[in-house]
Amino acid sequence: MAAKNTDAHASASNSSITDSEAWQQLKAHFQQNRTLHMRDLFASNPERFHQFHIRLGDILLDYSKNRITDETRRLLIELAKTAGVESWRDKMFAGEHVNLTEDRAVMHVALRNRSQQAMYVDGLDVMPEIRQVLQKMRVFSDAVRSGEARGYNGGRIKSIINIGIGGSDLGPMVVCESMKPYAQRGLNAYFVSNADATHLQETLKQVEPESTLFVISSKSFTTQETMLNADSAKAWFLDLVGSEKAVARHFVAVTNNTEAAEDFGISADNIYQIWDWVGGRYSLWSAIGLPIALYLGMDHFEELLEGAHAMDQHFKTAPLEENMPVIMALLGVWYNNFFDAQSHAVMPYSQYLRRLPAYLQQLDMESNGKTIDREGERVDYLTGPIIWGEPGTNGQHAFFQLLHQGTKPVPADFLVPCISQNPMGNHHRVLVANCFAQTRALMHGKTTSEALDQLREEGVPDDEINTLFAHKVFDGNKPSNTLLFEKLTPKTLGSILALYEHKVFVQGVIWNINSFDQMGVEYGKELAGDIQGELSHREETHSYDSSTNALINYRKGIYYHQQDNNNYDKKS
């Protein structure tokens, strides 16, 4: 383990958060109020929405449909204070090494700092370097978009293929997917991440080498899947074009490992720098966002940064009780640790946001899927939830049944724009109505008497009512947040993504874990290397457990049998 930064560490001795008075009070409060029904809370307080909402710019967070009272909020805020949320936040913004295990600063907020203020990492103002890279991105993306930078044969670039994985894929991918209305006509963006060659092959089928620009995105430039895809893409290109010289016009890299990118054959001019204080899943704001700049234009990329910066300022300055990321984080802790909710759902009522849940899965689960606290001790409470979701209204016809009548509590976020980018007939009204109807139904439920009345009104005979009515009852009291915003613009999207980043950060602080490493991912990678070795020869494998041995040997049997058949066919 790398040396711990003692400064950042000293004031954070909240490893026994469950022993704190704030936690104990919340526990008692939970016991006393666990049966409160939101239906009654709304009925008894017409001001409930006013009490439990926050506005920032055009974004409205309605968190009134949660199983909380004023007192719950007060106690949760106390918990945040006890855990040192404000001081950890300030340390992060000040460039302290809050990534304790890797002894690094966590400064993605500097990447979208739109003020003139300096931001320091290890005593160095990082803003000049950030601005330099942004400028380099602008020059290049402008040139590609205007047709000034062309392919090796003088034709325009029409396709951008990002090759990366994890944060070097999901961030730029979710933005490009969500911001399609802002894309330049005639320019397509593709994202290739999977080691399965199908991903690359199916993408390559859609493009021509002479009009394709590959962006090899990898902070480390060593990630197996990315290097595999990058090598295969280059081989495909060379095979069709036949000129090494042409590579310079068609391959650029975004990395912290310039040497490896140069070894790959990318010239220094075509390498865009990211820094070690940018975590993979927090990197879309850096040059990892190059595909965004290319696809949407640098002005739109900068609007995205502005939206994130606005959320950063809010997170930094708003009192905790009016602080969107803090409130969302605390609600998550409330359900995770007191109601034992195992998961958290995200339901974008926007087709453009269809990949948001996938992006949030990495952001949240790679950050807070931890069992060891900042002091190296095993935690005795639940940490990060399972994040999942699908766009509404599709989810309604798939898994919403479980949300409404299942046995598991699933707190959920609903995101919906007031205005559609694609107005068409009644579509958007239907979409929005469904979103609001779901959160209302989840909260309110349907009582026994309401179910009985409805069945009677429908003229269902009494004997049928007796067998049916229990199935028609909805308990309700299912919590949700609604994020309602004017329109899905780059600025709004920037704010939303930063909102979730800070939410995850706050939860990590409360759970006393390091949200910025991902050591759990490493073990699988190590083993994959060994198993790859085993798969590359015909001898039977015995070195693992019987299951792993059997799987390896089964695949070898089929694979080598097919190889032999192919060889036989070729010979005959």
The catalytic residue positions are 366, 397, 525
Check: CB of residue 216 under 8 Å from CB of residue 252: yes
Applying CB under 6 A, among 118, 521, 527, 550 the residue interacting with ligand F6P is 521
Is 168 a binding residue for ligand F6P by CB under 6 A? The answer is yes
Residue 29 to residue 22: CA distance in whole angstroms:
10
For residue 150, CA distances in Å to 135, 141, 279, 295, 408 come to: 19, 12, 32, 15, 55
Question: Which window, 46-54, 212-220, 290-298, 564-572, contacts ligand F6P (CB under 6 A)?
Answer: 212-220
| Best CA proximity match to 412, nearest among 390, 427, 428, 434 | 390
The span of 35-43, 102-110, 165-173, 435-443 binding ligand F6P (CB under 6 A) equals 165-173
Stretches 114-122, 160-168, 186-194, 405-413: which one binds ligand F6P (CB under 6 A)? 160-168
**CB proximity list for 172: less than 8 A, separation 6 or greater:** 162, 164, 191, 217, 284, 288, 289, 290, 291, 292
The separation between CA 344 and the C-alpha centre of its own chain, rounded to angstroms, equals 13
Closest approach, Cβ 90 to ligand F6P, in A, equals 25
3-state SS, one letter per residue, for 105-131: CCCHHHHCCCCCCCCEECCEECHHHHH
Q: Which is nearer to ligand F6P, 172 or 280 (CB)?
A: 280
State which of residues 91, 145, 219, 478 lies at the interface with ligand F6P (CB under 6 A): 219
Shorter beta-carbon distance to ligand F6P: residue 26 or 165 = 165
The residues near 126 (Cβ < 8 Å, ≥ 6 apart) are 95, 107, 110, 119, 120, 275, 277
CB of 1 to ligand F6P, least distance (A): 17
Q: Please name which of 288, 163, 286, 173 lies closest in space to residue 213, comparing C-alpha atoms.
A: 163
Give yes or no for residue 527 binding ligand F6P (CB under 6 A): no
Tokens 């039977």 belong to 540
Residue range at the interface with ligand F6P (CB under 6 A); choices 205-213, 217-225, 336-344, 374-382? 217-225
The nearer residue to ligand F6P, 80 or 504, going by C-beta atoms, is: 504
Give the residue with the Cβ less far from ligand F6P, 130 or 288: 288
Please tell me what DSSP assigns to residue 272.
E
Residue with the two structure tokens 């606005």: 310
Which of 408, 525 has the CB closer to ligand F6P? Answer: 525
229 vs 495, beta carbon nearer ligand F6P: 229
Closest CA to 2 of 549, 517, 351: 517
- Interacting residue with ligand F6P among 151, 166, 297, 357 (CB under 6 A): 166
Report DSSP letters for 205-267, one per residue.
Answer: TT--GGGEEEEEE-SSS--HHHHHHHHHHHHHHHHHH--GGGHHHHEEEEES-HHHHHHHT--
Q: Report the nearest approach of ligand F6P to the CB of residue 163 (Å).
A: 10
Beta bridge partners of 215: 162, 252
Contact status, residue 33 vs residue 72, Cβ threshold 8 Å: yes
In angstroms, the CA 71 to CA 51 distance is 12
Closest contact distance (angstroms) between CB of 257 and ligand F6P is: 8
Q: Is 165 in the site for ligand F6P (CB under 6 A)?
A: yes
Residue 115: which of 139, 140, 93 has the closest Cα?
93
Smallest distance, ligand F6P to C-beta of residue 286, A: 11
CA-closest candidate to residue 266, choices 283, 249, 288 = 249
**What is the phi/psi pair of residue 162, to 5°?**
-85, 125
Closest CA to 330 of 196, 171, 504: 504
* Residues facing residue 214 across a β-bridge: 161, 251
Q: x/- contact string, 356-395, with ligand F6P (CB under 6 A)? A: ----------x-----------------------------
Pick the stretch among 118-126, 133-141, 215-223, 411-419 that binds ligand F6P (CB under 6 A): 215-223
Do 456 and 388 form a contact (C-beta atoms < 8 A)? no
Considering beta carbons, is residue 23 or 221 the nearer one to ligand F6P? 221
Among 72, 141, 211, 226, binds ligand F6P (CB under 6 A): 226
From 218, 270, 350, 512, residue interacting with ligand F6P (rule: CB under 6 A): 218
Tell me how far, at minimum, the Cβ of 292 lies from ligand F6P, in Å: 16
Q: Is 223 in the site for ligand F6P (CB under 6 A)?
A: yes
* Secondary structure letter of residue 78 according to DSSP: H
Q: Are 384 and 507 in contact (CB under 8 A)?
A: yes
DSSP 425: T
Q: Which residue's CB is nearer to ligand F6P, number 226 or number 323?
A: 226
Tell me which of 167, 289, 369, 385 binds ligand F6P, using CB under 6 A.
167
* Residue 238: both structure tokens together: 């060379």
Span interacting with ligand F6P, options 114-122, 127-135, 213-221, 439-447, rule CB under 6 A: 213-221
**CB of residue 516 to ligand F6P, shortest distance in Å:** 10
- The residue with its CB nearest to ligand F6P is 280
Which span (139-147, 214-222, 299-307, 462-470) binds ligand F6P, by CB under 6 A? 214-222
Residues in contact with ligand F6P, total (CB under 6 A)? 14
Cis peptide before 393 (omega within 30 of 0): yes
Gyration radius (Cα) of the chain, Å: 26
Closest distance of CB 199 from ligand F6P, Å: 15
- Please, what is the minimum distance in Å from the beta carbon of residue 198 to ligand F6P? 20
Among 84, 95, 280, 369, binds ligand F6P (CB under 6 A): 280
Helices 85-93, 70-83: axis angle to 10 degrees equals: 50
Q: Does 439 bind ligand F6P (CB under 6 A)?
A: no
Residue pointed to by tokens 């974004």: 59
Q: How far is the CB of 165 from ligand F6P (least distance, A)?
A: 5
Of the candidate spans 106-114, 164-172, 194-202, 336-344, the one that interacts with ligand F6P by CB under 6 A turns out to be 164-172
Among 91, 281, 502, 503, binds ligand F6P (CB under 6 A): 281
Q: Which listed residue (64, 211, 383, 518) binds ligand F6P by CB under 6 A?
A: 518
Q: Which residues make up the interface to ligand F6P (CB under 6 A)?
A: 165-168, 218-220, 223, 226, 280-281, 366, 518, 521
